[in-house]
């Protein structure tokens, strides 16, 4: 097994799922509109799932001898996703942001 090749594939996934977990929670807090309640519940579930996936990815990296990097500055620098809007966000825009991701 080429450990470096595996790490080069898995580390970016770790960054992505951490970003998604954080943005899911942020979106829940700032979502506004008639779908706030069901959207908030879905975003909470997504955030929990993402954190579980991040944990699994990080454990796999550590198991092959590569230190996982889930630090906030790493995630901010390396995420492929655009910045989530600041302030309150209409529920339709929240959904559009997640489809873009």
Q: Is 82 a domain residue?
A: no
**Residue-level pLDDT at 63:** 96
- Quickly state the pLDDT bin for 1 (edges 50, 70, 90): confident
**Residue 77 within any structural domain of the chain:** no
| 71 within some domain | no
Output 41 or 1, whichever has higher pLDDT: 41
Residue 61 belongs to a domain: yes
pLDDT tens digits, one per residue of 54-94: 999 999 999 999 999 999 999 999 999 999 999 999 999 99
Q: 23: domain CATH number?
A: 1.20.1260.10
| Residue 81 included in any domain | no
CB neighbours of residue 100 within 10 Å: 8
Per the structure block, which two tokens stand in for 89? 């966000």
Q: Predicted confidence band at 10 (pLDDT cuts at 50, 70, 90)?
A: very high
45-49 long-range Cβ contacts below 8 angstroms, 24+ apart: 46/20, 46/21, 46/98, 47/20, 47/21, 47/22
Full residue range of the structural domain in which residue 41 is found: 3-66+87-100
Count up the domains in the chain and report the number.
1
pLDDT at 57: 98
Residue carrying the six token digits 């929990």 = 48
Q: Please give the mean pLDDT across all residues of the chain.
A: 96
Is residue 79 one of the residues assigned to a domain?
A: no
| Separation of alpha carbons 22 and 28, rounded Å | 10
CA distance 101 to 97: 6
Enter the pTM of the model: 0.93
DSSP code for 31: E
Q: Name, in order, each residue with C-beta under 8 angstroms of 44's C-beta and a sequence gap of 6 or more.
A: 24, 25, 28
């Amino acid at each position: 097994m080429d450990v470096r090749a595996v790490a080069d594939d898995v580390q970016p996934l770790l960054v992505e799922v951490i970003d998604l977990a954080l943005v899911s929670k942020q979106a829940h807090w700032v979502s506004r509109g008639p779908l706030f309640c069901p959207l908030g519940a879905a975003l909470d579930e997504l955030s929990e799932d993402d954190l579980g996936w991040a944990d699994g990815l990080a454990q796999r990296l550590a198991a092959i001898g590569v230190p996982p990097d889930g630090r906030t500055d790493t995630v901010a620098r390396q995420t492929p996703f655009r910045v989530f809007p600041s302030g309150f966000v209409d529920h339709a825009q929240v959904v559009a942001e997640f489809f873009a991701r």
